Amino acid sequence: MRFPSLPSSLEAALVERGYETATPVQAEVMQAEAAGRDLIVSAQTGSGKTIAFGLAMAQQLLENRDTIPFSERPLALIIAPTRELALQVSRELAWLYGKAGGRIATCVGGMNPQQERKTLRSGASIVVGTPGRLRDHLERGALDLSGLKAVVLDEADEMLDMGFREELEEILEATPETRRTLLFSATMPRPIEALARRYQRDALRIATISEGRGHGDIAYQAVTVSPPEIENAAVNLLRYHEAETAILFCATREKVRHLHATLQERGFAVVALSGEHSQSERNQALQALRDRRARVCVATDVAARGIDLPTLSLVIHVEIPRDAETLQHRSGRTGRAGKKGTAVLIVPFSRRKRVESMLRHAKIAADWTDAPDRDAIKTKDRERLLAKLLEPVEVDEADRDLAERLLAERTPVQIATMLVRAHRERMPEPEDLIANTRDARREAQKERHRPGFEDIVWFRMALGRRQNADPRWILPLLCRRGHITRNEIGAIRIGPDETYFQVPRQIAEKFADSVLRTARGDGDEEPAVIEMSARGPRDAAKGNRKRHHVQSNEDAPRGKAKTSFKKFDRTKVRKAGGPGKPPKAAKDMRKSKKP
């Protein structure tokens, strides 16, 4: 849908930025039914919400003109949960209302509050900020909201989750009742509905989120790994996808620091983003990603909202999100504005059921797979290198002279080989992962069996850990008693009171006869009992536990019968001793108990 009729200043700004058609949420807020009304909007992150509420409040700001009239007090207020989101909203509204003379003031934590107060006093038509800093300016008298015409709560669900209810209520109470209130939220839990009922009037509900899945432009993958392989899987995922920009989400600041250092050591151009970084450091990290000086960002959930990088195509959940909403907001950093993206969850074996439940709750169909191995990454590298080298290029005279000199010194095969090698040297080495598929585990178990021990018989010896059994003296004993070599004895399993060991089936009968003939001690020495066993150590342990459980129940003492007591009757006591007085026997009993 094309944009409807707009003031010429806004229309020129959209054309200059290349906006031709409106996204679903932008089209909905500009319908005639929504004009001038309070709105409750459910829209997926990355769907163009900022431009949507920027256009929605144009009627209140411009008043059918092309420019915003000067006002000493703010006309519009946008509240966002995080610094990054507030700064992003401020940048978007700056170009949207730039030709209309809009003056934007940004008030966020980590910035100079005195400079912010100076900007507010100079007359800002639109104020964008986080709840804590806006409340501070309001209490200090630097922020006057009496002339406000429109209020926008962006990512309202996140603000309530972060504990900003008191700040929001104090700010909204300071605004005039005639204001227009626009509430944007990806989810609509009960606290959001309660907030809407309290501060909105006859609000129109708009929902543009698809019911079928969390985000149509994101391909979800779930990679199962063993817990020690999580970081190696993250390295291989980065190498396999080779995204122009990627974000790796962790749960804690400590994990961000550790993973950031690990990726730096492996040669990745990486930056870190968490709550322990100052606003200046955050801005520098984001600018490095925009300038392509860095391609990877390791972050906590502070970056789950408000990060808008056009080249971001890969999100890796190194640590599992705490809930389905966090999963969607993290993943929503990619697949924005109609572009395709990939979100990968690294799932330890023990957490698979929890992740499956989370995906069902979020209505997301993920492709379960293994982490890419070295061979898969090399195959991808070859494909990418061939595609890059076969692209058409413009050659100037200097490049042509250099190419001809190289051809004179080296053969084409040598030049191509050096080019491939130079390309690979710039790329971090993939990690060798332990195979985690069921077939691979079976093969690994087969490889652990020694040759000749595929078909074995278990033998039992009546000695265990309580008798100080140790393979160092058990093995020579078995060789001496059974007339075999140590290479003919397989696995040895030592239990509390008995030891099991393997003998190849083809020599089992011979071994049994030998230990029977040698079952006599030297002098007073009592020989160890060695016999063939019909079951292995695991089955024996299960049987012992079951037998011990039965015996412990049989040996348990029977409970004594409870002594029955008659209910105490106060009426009889009062009759015996007079009204309100204890009987004589009771008095005598108390006297006898005194020391």
Q: Are 80 and 155 within 8 A, CB to CB?
A: yes
* CA nearest neighbour of 300 among 269, 276, 324, 328: 276
191, pLDDT greater than 70: yes
Over residues 451-476, mean pLDDT: 84
What is the torsion angle, in degrees rounded to the nearest 10, for the CA atoms of residue 302, residue 221, residue 332 and residue 293?
70
pLDDT value at 308 more than 50: yes
Residue 232 confidence (pLDDT): 92
Given pLDDT bands bounded at 50, 70 and 90, which one contains residue 589? Answer: very low
pLDDT for residue 574 is more than 60: no
Over pLDDT 70: what percentage of the chain?
83
Question: Does residue 15 surpass a pLDDT of 70?
Answer: yes
- Compare 465 and 223 and report the one with higher pLDDT: 223
H/E run at residue 352:
helix 352-362
CB 355 within 8 A of CB 318: no
pLDDT of 530 over the 50 cut: yes
Q: Lowest-pLDDT range, 71-80, 162-171, 422-431, 456-465? A: 422-431
355: which DSSP letter?
H
- What is the reported pLDDT for 450? 63
Task: Give mean pLDDT, residues 197-222.
Answer: 77
Task: Report pLDDT for 475.
Answer: 87
Spatial CA neighbour of 59 closest among 32, 28, 98: 32
Q: Which is higher by pLDDT, 290 or 555?
A: 290
- Mean pLDDT over residues 473-499, rounded? 87
pLDDT, tens digit (0-9, with 9 covering 90-100), for 400-415: 888 888 888 888 888 8
For the cut 60, the answer to whether the pLDDT of residue 557 exceeds it is no
CA distance 13 to 56: 15
**CA–CA separation, 67 and 103 (whole Å):** 11
Range in 153-157, 279-283, 589-593 with the lowest mean pLDDT: 589-593
Q: What is the average pLDDT across 488-507? A: 89
Average pLDDT over residues 101-106: 92
Mean pLDDT over residues 311-321, rounded?
A: 92
Q: How far apart are CA 146 and CA 174, in angstroms?
A: 7
Query: What is the structure's pLDDT at 440?
Result: 45
Q: At what angle do helices 412-425 and 374-389 cross, to 10 degrees?
A: 120
Crossing angle for the helix pair 165-173 and 190-199, nearest 10 degrees? 10
Task: Of 261-270, 276-285, 393-402, 550-559, give the lowest mean pLDDT range.
Answer: 550-559
Cα distance between residue 111 and residue 101, in whole Å: 24
Least confident of 321-335, 432-446, 483-497: 432-446
pTM of the model: 0.56
- Secondary element (H or E) of residue 76: strand 76-79
What distance, in Å, lies between the first and last C-alpha atoms of the chain?
97
Residue-level pLDDT at 306? 64
In the prediction, which pLDDT does 268 show?
93
Average the pLDDT over 250-262 and give the result.
92
pLDDT the model gives residue 564:
45
Domains along the chain with CATH numbers: 8-207 (3.40.50.300), 218-372 (3.40.50.300), 378-392+404-431 (no CATH), 449-536 (3.30.70.330)
Question: Which residues have C-beta within 8 Å of that of residue 480, sequence separation ≥ 6?
Answer: 518
For residues 330 and 180, is the Cβ–Cβ distance under 8 A?
no
Q: Smallest Cα–Cα separation from 79: which of 171, 189, 163?
A: 171
Question: What mean pLDDT is predicted for residues 495-523?
Answer: 84
3-state secondary structure of 122: coil
**Predicted local confidence at residue 585, as pLDDT:** 43
pLDDT of residue 525: 53
Mapping DSSP to helix (H, G, I), strand (E, B) and coil, where does residue 98 land?
A: coil
The pLDDT score that the predictor gives to residue 524 is: 45
Judged against a pLDDT cut of 60, whether residue 551 lies above it is answered with no
For residue 223, the model assigns a pLDDT of: 94
Share the mean pLDDT of the chain. 81
